Structure 1
Amino acid sequence: MIRKTPRLRAAALAAATLAVTALGAGAAQATQVFSDNFNGENGGVAADPYTGFANFTVLSGAVTLNEGARCDGGAGGCVGLDGRGGGGGTEFEMSNGLNYGVGSVVTLTYDIAGNNHDCPACATDDEYEAGFVFSNIGETINDVTLDGIDVGPTVVSTGIDLFGTGFPLPFNDPWTTHTISFTATDVGTIKAHFRSFSTDGVGPLLDNVSVDVTGGGVPEPAGWALMILGFGATGAALRRRRTVVAA
């Protein structure tokens, strides 16, 4: 006669449960992180203008690569968002985007300071904008916060959504950390984007740019591996679930 084996059925169910649990854990913890402090650019040598960034592209205008005392912490590299010969209207953007999913929390963090030049003609305030380039135009993003202040839902109306019409920045403003965050309602891709309205060649200083994309139901590689392993175990158990016993 043919006899079913409850232990194998239980083992198959346990394997499948382990796979789904691991997949869920991977989805909840999936994180992409981008970070750039501009240290080591150009071999640690300042340049004005400079375009050879490892992770950023100068879309318009010009930027300066600064090294040393003018940068955050008085060392390393940083970016002047109005380089020599740029003519103003500088746009500075991540070269490669980060993917996000439904429910992903996306956070941009950056440090910025006034131009801090000591020449009398340079003692002018600047304006800048910071935000994201979105691939998904028309999406409504939720839980939008600027430096922790809730500004409510926002509709992505253009490919570039910068928050504010220009943040005023005194020339002698110290290094300050700022954040922009939102929760996605659809899938898409973002890039961090910065814009300066300075036209005198000594724009705001930028340093320590990072972007975190957390959650959104995208399993980590380990989650996929455990899922495949679990379903493999399930299949093997089911193939052995019937045992032939002599009558």
Structure 2
Amino acid sequence: MPAGRVLSGKQEAVHQRPEGLKAELTRNSYTAQSVENLNPPCSMKLQSQQKLTPVLTSTSNGDDSYLEFNKASAALFWGDFMKIRIIVGLIAGLAFSSTASATQVFFQDFESLTPNALSVTTLPGFSVTGQVDVVGNPNTYNIAALSNIVDLDGSPGPGTITSSTSFAFNAGDRVTLSFLLGGAQRNSVSDNFTLGWLLSSAMTVTNIVGTGYFDYLNLASAFAPASGSQSINLAGDAGFLLSSVSFTATAAGSFGFSFGSTSADNVGPLIDNIGLDISPVPGPVMGAGLPGLVIALGALVALRRRRMFAA
């Protein structure tokens, strides 16, 4: 083959890598020239992006040819590579996505009530046994309340508040009861505080976790098959702390709850911002994970190979 000849299109040859050829692309045609001691052995300068055809070059002795791409071809390759990265990332994200989001099924902050009301026997969302007080801001009790809160030892007390409704959950759901809890804040005397719960039927619950004032308790021992309670002694000067109890259901059912005190000195534990969340446990999406990654990557590689060797 004459020195410097450029082969285009689909002409094929099986040779070794050229050692002394430099291909130069002009605006309208490809040309080649011999270069001595070129390092690296072969390179190409793009002066126009009008041609997207791969270039097949040969050395002067005709025993060597190879396939080389111009910058536009490299850009196409980079675009396919980025597509692969994006799709792989999306599939990996789906592998750990949840099939549903958390739902807050109950919340009560007592803001609809008249502040600084004593001997209260009705509360929104709760039935009241005994009496409780509603303390507002400002108040004459030196209680650092930012808004309405409930004193579980009314005037007189004590009292217990029980959710008026039981809330349904499914097998595998994560049930979380949260509340803002503080001491009486009128002396340093400790008061009893009791959290109670009632399940619709006897069942085993798992992954029982407490936070805040309940983070150190062995709550598993308090969960009976259908109901249970947990009591703590809360110092009168204990500050407000967001606390919670959560568990994973092993069967479908419903959940009710209560808060109370046995304190009988007209000053008791303070509670506010009571919420109940029911969250489906996150699970993988069908078809995601490693099998999905392998299939997607294989398809994209095959597409790229067809582009490279298409006519």
TM-score bin (small chain)? 0.5 to 0.7
- Residue 45 of structure 1: how far off its partner (Å): 3.1
Q: 2:185 aligns with which of 109, 116, 123?
A: 116
Q: Is 1:171 matched with 2:242?
A: no
Query: TM-score if structure 1 supplies the norm length?
Result: 0.65
Q: Do residues 74 (structure 1) and 145 (structure 2) align?
A: yes
Give 1:63 shift: 0.7
Alpha-carbon distance between aligned partners in 1 of 2:110 and 2:153, rounded to the nearest angstrom: 16
Q: Partner residue of 1:45?
A: 115
Q: Which has the higher helix share?
A: 1
129, 132, 144: which one aligns with 2:197: 132
Number of aligned residue pairs: give it.
181
Letter in 2 for 1:140: T
CA distance in 2, matches of 1:116, 1:150: 23
1:100 is aligned to 2:172: no
Q: Which residue identity lines up with residue 116 of structure 2 in the other structure?
A: A
Partner of residue 154 from structure 2, selected from 83, 108, 119: 83
Structure 2 letter corresponding to 1:54: P
Sort the Cα spacing of 1:26 and 1:62 in 2 relative to 1 into closer, same or farther, 3 A: same
Aligned twin of 2:59? none
Residue 131 of structure 1 and its aligned partner are, at CA, apart by: 3.8
Q: Which has the larger radius of gyration?
A: 2
- CA 1:181 to 1:160, structure 2 compared with 1: closer, same or farther past 3 Å? same
Aligned residues of 2:203 and 2:226 also touching (Cα < 8 A): no
Regions of 4+ moved over 6 Å: 70-73
Q: Equivalent residue for 1:238?
A: none
Say if 2:202 is the partner of 1:202. Answer: no
**What is the aligned counterpart of 1:157 among 200, 224, 227?**
224
> In angstroms, what is the RMSD of aligned CA positions?
2.7
Q: Deviations over 1:25-67 (max 9, x none)?
A: 99633624311111121xx332111123111111x22111111
Whichever residue aligns with residue 29 of structure 1, its letter is: S
Structure 2 residue aligned with 1:16: none
Indicate conservation of the 8 Å contact 2:156/2:264, yes or no: no
Shift of 1:75: 2.6
CA contact (8 A) 2:193 2:262 kept: yes
C-alpha change, 1:180 and 1:30, in structure 2 (3 Å) is: closer
Identity of aligned residues (%): 25
Indicate the SS of the match to 1:51. strand
Q: Secondary structure at the match of 2:237?
A: coil
Aligned equivalents of 1:189 and 1:83: distance in 2?
30
Q: In structure 1, what is the Cα distance between the partners aligned to 2:99 and 2:160?
A: 34
Q: Which amino acid aligns with 2:108?
A: D
Letter in 1 for 2:233: P
> Any gaps of 5 or more consecutive residues in structure 2?
1-96, 283-311
Establish whether residue 184 from structure 1 lines up as the match of residue 249 from structure 2: yes
> TM-score normalized by structure 2?
0.52
Describe the SS at the equivalent of 1:63: strand
Give the whole-Å Cα distance in 2 for the aligned partners of 1:149 and 1:209: 20
CA distance in 2, matches of 1:179, 1:72: 23
Amino acid in structure 1 at the alignment position of 2:178 = T
Separation of aligned partners in 2, 1:216 and 1:188: 16
Return the letter of the residue paired with 2:110.
F
Amino acid at match of 1:191: G
Deviation sequence 1:75-126 (CA, Å, 0-9, x none): 321100011133x3x3211111211110010001111111112xxxx54210
SS for the counterpart of 2:100 is: helix
Residue identity matched to 1:180: V
Letter in 2 for 1:64: D
Question: Aligned partner of 1:193: which letter?
Answer: S
